[in-house]
């Protein structure tokens, strides 16, 4: 249909025309729209307390103690279950968060501005691997690290970014793809590039050598440090693509550990949800599939812009890490995702695939017609609260979300 094709051309124009820049780190209370005290933003489509999975409830209890709204985890669980805490989806507040995706007032938020359209998107700073809040960790070690990020790392990064005028992310991603990252489960190269870009400005703006050293060491030791930057970038790119009449391009994919949800440009901010699936992958020593929680997090925003599972061909190493098969299989994932996307990104290319651009603009019509569901590279959380990450794997977006979206878009267009 002409109206859909024209709408999708506009959607792709906005996606490819975006100029995302990491400009600042600011406490959430100062910058995240409509975020209030005793309010917790979480990953995925909206969900009530009773339907939340174990890690999500564990993280909520932990962040409630971290914010000082409860004295201990037991009190926090009671408050959360009795309605004393308000919950909402990150996506409703220009924000995203990995795995459980906790966003609350005192957390420092990475700020990515889309210079083309002027909109901003936010994500908290990555905590590292293992026992961390995004995987449901909530003990003293987790909360102490969050306090250090709030008091030391966040302010140091904010000062540096303001001093240096920000970090342009489009060329950084292009370089990272050529260095073997797919920006979801492998961010080794991009994390290093961010460190290189920001280190001098952090040194210049620091007045405490010990804190500076700790901050630089933290970034250096965290291979996934760049993930949260990529996520805020993805949100900043995709938000201007919302609400184009007739467009069948996906603007968000997200999971809360119970439901998988997508949004589509031509159907506005409506969520199309289905039960989330279990990742298939590899487990850390001592853990098995029986320990795993279903798929979770806003991090699928990176697949929505053509990275992660869509850019698997750039990252043969990640195919092994997530249990997706041989390195030679990585390119096949990218080829399959090309079949469900409107175009390729000429600025984000994969050298080993003859500079093929990453598949860009997931079209719900193509997903349903072909039966090919988006491939997502993901971390795997333990199903019980408080334990953390137990593996990494690959998961498919549920086809039912895309079928609902096609029917709703058809209805809006008067097609029956």
Partner 1 sequence: MESDKDNASLLGGKLSVINVGLDKFATELADHDVPVVHLDWKPPAGGDPKLAALLSKMGT
Please report how close the Cβ of residue 46 comes to partner 1 at its closest, in angstroms: 26
Q: Nearer to partner 1 by C-beta: 154 or 246? A: 246
Identify the DSSP state of 361: E
Do 58 and 103 form a contact (C-beta atoms < 8 A)? no
Please report how close the Cβ of residue 301 comes to partner 1 at its closest, in angstroms: 25
Q: Nearer to partner 1 by C-beta: 91 or 365? A: 365
Q: Which residue has the tokens 């992310």?
A: 169
For the chain, first and last CA: distance in Å?
A: 14
In degrees and rounded to multiples of 5, residue 21 shows phi and psi of: -130, 130
Sign of the CA dihedral 382, 235, 220, 138? negative
In degrees and rounded to multiples of 5, residue 278 shows phi and psi of: -85, 135
Number of C-beta neighbours around residue 371 at 10 A: 9
Binding site for partner 1 (CB under 8 A): 1, 4-5, 248, 365-366, 368-371, 399, 403, 406-407, 409-410, 413, 415-416
Q: Nearer to partner 1 by C-beta: 79 or 410? A: 410
Give me the residues paired with residue 210 across strands.
none
Please report how close the Cβ of residue 116 comes to partner 1 at its closest, in angstroms: 28
Do 134 and 97 form a contact (C-beta atoms < 8 A)? yes
Q: Nearer to partner 1 by C-beta: 188 or 373? A: 373
Please report how close the Cβ of residue 406 comes to partner 1 at its closest, in angstroms: 6
Q: Nearer to partner 1 by C-beta: 359 or 386? A: 359
Please report how close the Cβ of residue 332 comes to partner 1 at its closest, in angstroms: 10
Q: Nearer to partner 1 by C-beta: 45 or 266? A: 266
Q: Nearer to partner 1 by C-beta: 73 or 399? A: 399
Please report how close the Cβ of residue 280 comes to partner 1 at its closest, in angstroms: 17
The length of the chain, given as a count of residues: 416
Pull the structure tokens for residue 217.
């060491």
From CA 161, how far away is CA 202, in angstroms rounded?
8
The closest alpha carbon to 44, from 262, 298, 268, belongs to 298
The closest alpha carbon to 99, from 224, 195, 211, belongs to 224
Please report how close the Cβ of residue 199 comes to partner 1 at its closest, in angstroms: 46
Number of C-beta neighbours around residue 336 at 10 A: 18
Q: Nearer to partner 1 by C-beta: 3 or 221? A: 3
- Calculate the CA 245 to chain-centre distance: 26
Please report how close the Cβ of residue 339 comes to partner 1 at its closest, in angstroms: 10
């Amino acid at each position: 249909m002409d109206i859909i094709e024209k709408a999708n051309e506009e959607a792709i124009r906005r996606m490819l025309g975006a100029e995302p820049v990491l400009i600042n780190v600011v406490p959430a209370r100062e910058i995240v729209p409509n975020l209030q005290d005793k309010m917790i933003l979480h990953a995925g489509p909206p969900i009530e307390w009773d339907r939340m999975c174990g890690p999500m409830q564990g993280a909520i209890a932990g962040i409630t103690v971290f914010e000082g709204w409860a004295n201990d985890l037991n009190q926090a669980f009671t408050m959360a279950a009795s309605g004393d805490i308000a919950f909402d989806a990150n996506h409703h507040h220009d924000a995203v968060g990995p795995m459980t995706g906790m966003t609350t007032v005192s957390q420092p938020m990475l700020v990515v501005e889309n210079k083309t359209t002027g909109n901003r998107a936010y994500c908290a700073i990555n905590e590292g691997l293992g026992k961390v809040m995004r995987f449901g960790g909530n003990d003293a070690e987790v909360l102490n690290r969050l306090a250090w990020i709030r008091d030391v790392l966040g302010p140091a990064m904010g000062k540096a970014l303001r001093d240096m005028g920000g970090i342009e992310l489009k060329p950084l991603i292009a370089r990272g793809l050529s260095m073997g990252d797919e920006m979801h489960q492998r961010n080794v190269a991009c994390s290093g590039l961010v460190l290189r870009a920001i280190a001098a400005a952090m040194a210049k703006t620091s007045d405490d050598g010990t804190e500076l050293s700790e901050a630089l060491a933290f970034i250096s030791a965290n291979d996934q440090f760049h993930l949260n930057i990529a996520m805020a970038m993805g949100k900043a790119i995709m938000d201007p693509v919302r609400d184009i009449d007739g467009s069948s391009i996906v603007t968000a994919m997200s999971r809360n550990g119970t439901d998988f949800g997508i949004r589509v440009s031509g159907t506005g901010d409506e969520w199309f949800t289905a039960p989330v699936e279990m990742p298939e992958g590899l487990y850390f020593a001592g853990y098995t599939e029986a320990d795993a929680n279903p798929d979770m997090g806003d991090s699928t925003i990176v697949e929505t812009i053509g990275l992660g599972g869509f850019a698997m061909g750039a990252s043969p190493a990640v195919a092994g890490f997530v249990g997706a098969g041989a390195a030679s299989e990585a390119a096949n994932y990218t080829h399959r995702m090309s079949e469900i996307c409107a175009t390729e990104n000429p600025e984000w290319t994969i050298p080993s695939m003859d500079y093929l651009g990453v598949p860009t603009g997931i079209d719900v019509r193509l997903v349903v017609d072909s039966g090919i569901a988006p491939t997502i590279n993901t971390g795997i959380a333990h199903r019980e609260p408080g334990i953390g990450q137990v593996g990494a794997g690959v998961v498919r977006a549920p086809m039912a979300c895309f079928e609902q979206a096609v029917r709703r878009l058809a209805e809006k267009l008067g097609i029956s």
